[in-house]
Amino acid sequence: MSDFSLLYKKYNSVSNLTSDLNNSVITLKRKTISKNKEYTEKHPRIAVTDEQVAKANQLLVDILSLLEKFYSNQDTRNELYELMDNTLFQNQILKSVVFKDHIIKVLEKLKEKEDLTAGDLSSVDKFISVLDNEASMLFRKLRTSRG
């Protein structure tokens, strides 16, 4: 496989992961906002269905479970292994004990079907930010490579 193909595969994987996480968090934030009648009266399309919330929760469980498994066993077959050369991922996600503990608590809440707090969503947003940074760097490399 060429360098370009490997780079594209890595970019595609990271950007899909980022997109899934981002859409899930947005859905859960919309759920929280839609509880306020003032918002739903002014912006009725902000409301989300139970099906959308369930899908968002399941995607978050799947992705955060992937991260939890990666914490315990940094397996080369895990999708997140591709991020090992990213300094932000290393420092803010893997080496941060506080972040790790918080993400595991978020995952437990999701598995128990509990609502996430703004702080919980903020932790997931941090993970999204690191993934988005990696996707941007990979996109720049793709754009400038000679494939």
Rounded to whole angstroms, the Cα distance separating 31 from 124 reads 16
Give φ, ψ of 89 to 5 degrees. Answer: -60, -45
User: C-alpha 38: how far from its chain's center?
Assistant: 30
User: What is the residue-level pLDDT of the chain in tens, covering all 147 positions?
Assistant: 678 888 899 899 999 999 999 999 999 999 999 888 888 888 888 889 999 999 999 999 999 999 999 888 877 777 888 888 888 888 999 899 999 999 999 999 999 999 999 999 999 999 999 999 999 999 999 998 865
**Residue 43 zone, left/alpha/beta (φ > 0; ψ -120 to 50; rest):** beta
- Neighbour count for residue 136 (Cβ, 10 Å): 14
Phi, psi of 16 (to 5 degrees): -65, -40
Rounded Cα–Cα distance for residues 72 and 89 (Å): 15
Q: For the chain, give every domain's residue range.
A: 3-144
Q: pTM of this prediction? A: 0.88
For residue 146, what pLDDT is reported? 67
Q: Which of 135, 128, 125, 19 is nearest to 86 (CA)?
A: 135
Closest CA to 66 of 93, 36, 98: 93
